[in-house]
Chain A
Amino acid sequence: MTIFKITVEGAGEATCYEDERALVAMERAQGFGRLKGLSRKLPVGCRRGGCGICRVQVLEGDYRSDAMSRACVSAEDEASGLVLSCAIYPLSDLTVRLETPRLPKPGATPAVQTSGD
């Protein structure tokens, strides 16, 4: 089985198996304490490309993608590697940077709670 390394900028590394969603590999790495550099809990939502919480910028590497909600990722974003980590499957080692999820208007409730649970 092919194994790829996902480097999460500033946080650590995740091991991703072939045909595995990048986010699932990152969740597992977090569970094993391998993303120690994360300043907050990994944002995990629907894991199916619909909610937009898990947005990342792919800085390096190849991947294939599932459909992801255009309300969260525009075609231009997707072309530039700004994607939902739940909807991409690495085809090589990847380097990603966690992006802030789409934020609501200023002064509103934060889109993501920053305290761990």
Chain B
Amino acid sequence: MALTGVMRPAFAQIRVLDLPQAIEHYTKRLGLHVVTTGEDGRVYLKAGDEFDHHSLVLRLADHAGIDSFAFKVASDADLDAFEARIEAYGYPVDHVPAGEQPGLGRRIGWTIISGHRIELLAHSDLSEPKPGIHNPDVWSVEPNGMGVRRMDHALLYGPDIEKNLEFFTTVLDFKCAERVDMPDGLLAIWLTCGMKAHDVAFVNHPEPGKLHHVAFELESWADVGHAGDIITRYNISVDIGPTRHGITRGQTIYFFDPSGNRDEVFAGGYTYYPDNPTRTWDETQVGKGIFYYERQLNAAFLSVVS
């Protein structure tokens, strides 16, 4: 197969209540690097194993949460093609000029029914640090903190995710890798645009536009344990873990940034091929699906969002 159309998540722009605390958290603790600070004060960060300009944007605000989640498409022509399909589906599309975020080309954006702003972009400058490409070492800059390798996905909470499932699969050509169906309807979906088990996920939730977590990828299960050591050493608020998901099979730990946005760092997860059937979960086993070892949801999983 070849990856075409939407290739992968590009960036998450999140709101924080205190920029210096957020920068310390995402750099010293997770191991991201500050690329630059914009004229409007937004701070742009990346992981050392990412080529593109940035993958996390911090915006100072008086409330926590997520402004937008963006994906990169394979070519500039894809932006026009997707714009036509998104408009035809019924979501008005707006245009963000090149350079609105440093290093990025033009973007298109729209709000989906769950209340989240989604964007697409085709061009990103490369920035340092990035992986070597000629006789490359395993890393260019020695990993620090948790040593996250990339911003990997987000889990978003909002209403009417049945329509998100339809939109992402029929308009953006995503696949549904896994879903949870409760007696009263669809609870959650894990959507992929490539060969990861998920690139974005949604949980049905009455309040629109909420963030459950932004996830960053680690190399190994041992790194998840090391992340746990860092979380305790630096008194970071932990949610749950280290544990494992039945859904996606990722090995994981959840915690909160200094503004109360939930982060995940995880390792593993299966390879998804686009002809794989959707894996399904029901009410009897959903606890195992979410937290494979505990086999039940914790009180915060369905209720604590920013």
Give the dominant DSSP class at A's interface: loop
- B306, A69: Cβ atoms under 8 Å? yes
Surface stretch bound by A, among B3-11, B126-134, B253-261, B266-274? B253-261
- B206, A50: Cβ atoms under 8 Å? no
> In the complex, what residue of chain B is closest to A48 when comparing beta carbons?
B260
Contact of A46 among B204, B260, B298, B299 (CB under 8 A): B260
Residues of A at the B interface (CB closer than 8 Å) are: 41, 43-51, 53, 66-72, 101, 104-105, 108-113, 115-117
User: How far apart sit A112 and B303, CA to CA, in the bound complex (Å)?
Assistant: 6
- B306, A112: Cβ atoms under 8 Å? no
**Given known A51-B306, A113-B303, contact A104–B258 (CB-CB < 8 A):** no
Taking A50-B256, A67-B18 as known contacts, 13 extra A-B pairs with beta carbons closer than 8 A to each other, sorted by chain A number, are: A45-B304, A46-B260, A48-B256, A48-B259, A50-B17, A50-B259, A69-B260, A70-B62, A70-B63, A71-B63, A113-B299, A113-B302, A117-B299
Q: Which A residues are in CB contact (< 8 Å) with B299? A: 41, 43-44, 112-113, 115-117
**Given known A51-B304, A53-B304, contact A46–B256 (CB-CB < 8 A):** yes
Q: How large is the interface on B (under 10, 10 to 19, 20 to 34, 35 or more residues)?
A: 20 to 34
Q: Which B residues are in CB contact (< 8 Å) with A109? A: 204-206, 302
Q: Which of B131-170 contact A (CB under 8 A)?
A: none
Residues of B at the A interface (CB closer than 8 Å) are: 17-18, 62-65, 204-207, 237, 239, 256-262, 296-300, 302-306
User: How far apart sit A37 and B81, CA to CA, in the bound complex (Å)?
Assistant: 60
- A69, B304: Cβ atoms under 8 Å? no
- B257, A69: Cβ atoms under 8 Å? no
Q: Which B residues are in CB contact (< 8 Å) with A101? A: 303
User: How far apart sit A53 and B256, CA to CA, in the bound complex (Å)?
Assistant: 14
**Across the A-B interface, the 7 shortest Cβ-Cβ residue pairs:** A50-B260, A46-B260, A104-B206, A108-B206, A50-B64, A45-B304, A71-B63
The smallest C-beta distance from B28 to any residue of chain A, in angstroms, reads 16
Q: Which B residues are in CB contact (< 8 Å) with A48? A: 237, 256-260
User: How far apart sit A116 and B297, CA to CA, in the bound complex (Å)?
Assistant: 11
Q: Which A residues are in CB contact (< 8 Å) with B296? A: 117
**Given known A69-B259, A104-B207, A108-B206, contact A46–B306 (CB-CB < 8 A):** yes
User: How far apart sit A68 and B301, CA to CA, in the bound complex (Å)?
Assistant: 21
Residue with the greatest number of chain B CB neighbours at <10 A, chosen from A41, A47, A51, A69: A51
Q: Which A residues are in CB contact (< 8 Å) with B239? A: 46
The smallest C-beta distance from A42 to any residue of chain B, in angstroms, reads 10
User: How far apart sit A53 and B210, CA to CA, in the bound complex (Å)?
Assistant: 14
Contact of A69 among B62, B262, B300, B302 (CB under 8 A): B62
Q: Which B residues are in CB contact (< 8 Å) with A47? A: 237, 256, 260
> In the complex, what residue of chain B is closest to A47 when comparing beta carbons?
B237
